[in-house]
Amino acid sequence: MVVIVPSNKSVESFEGLHLYHGAISNCSMRVRIALIEKGLDWESHHLDLLKKENITEEYFGINPNGLVPTLIDNGVVHIESNDIIDYLDDVYPEPSLRAENNDEMMEWLHLAAAIHVPACKPYVYATKMAAKIKKTAEEQAKYDALQKNQELKEFHDKHSGDKSFSTSDFDKAKAILGACFAKLEMTLEGRNWIMGDQFTLADISWIPLHFVIDACGYDFGKFPNVQKWAAAFQTKESYQQGVLKWCPDFSQV
């Protein structure tokens, strides 16, 4: 659980569940899917990442990294999407999204979190986002003043101004994704979902990665089990309401 004491005190009086999220953000999709699977009511606070609505003093006062999603549960601020879905399943246990083998399920959540900055983010930014989200000098100065997280500063510096990701950064991202999706392919052999017959937090953690990476042109041809798994998820209501309602086609972003 990653709980934040916000410097923007306005959110501490929120009642019920509130989600700061981005339509096109795969990390936000994860939390929207979990909320919908659980049948929970939540208030939406949408931030348009393309308009850089996350880069404000007000939002950095809620999420110190300036990232989406952020969940506020009765005034308590939670960040980190994989921790948020784990928290939701603990606190709102019905219907359960937790596998009997919790340790194995949590390994999938930890892996998704671990590859976000080294693989998912560079792949998506190098193929699509960097060109759409160029900062003006003024926006860059504002970001530099607000962002204290060195890893994120370094990541965004790689595509600032005229710069773009190096071939080695992109190849490394592709290699990590290839290894992870090969592991997923093997795990899904003879199974409907990652943990077996039950749809769990492991699926919720990985489905959004497939959704955006696929739309950015990654070739899933050699991963038929992954393709079948993604197609099965597309029949669920949480895909309609948690993904498509907000982001009908990531390739068109």
Q: Interface residues with ligand GSH (CB under 6 A)? A: 22, 25-27, 49, 54, 66-69, 80-82, 113, 116
Shortest Cβ 192–ligand GSH spacing (Å): 25
Q: How far is the CB of 57 from ligand GSH (least distance, A)?
A: 15
Q: For residue 181, what are the CA distances in angstroms to 24, 63, 174, 221?
A: 21, 30, 10, 11
Query: 68 to each of 7, 136, 191, how far by Cα in Å?
Result: 17, 21, 32
CB 71 within 8 A of CB 78: yes
The distance of closest approach from Cβ of residue 117 to ligand GSH in the complex, given in angstroms and rounded to an integer, is 8
Q: Coil, helix or strand for 61?
A: coil
Which residues have C-beta within 8 Å of that of residue 103, sequence separation ≥ 6?
Answer: none
- Smallest gap from residue 229 Cβ to ligand GSH (A): 21
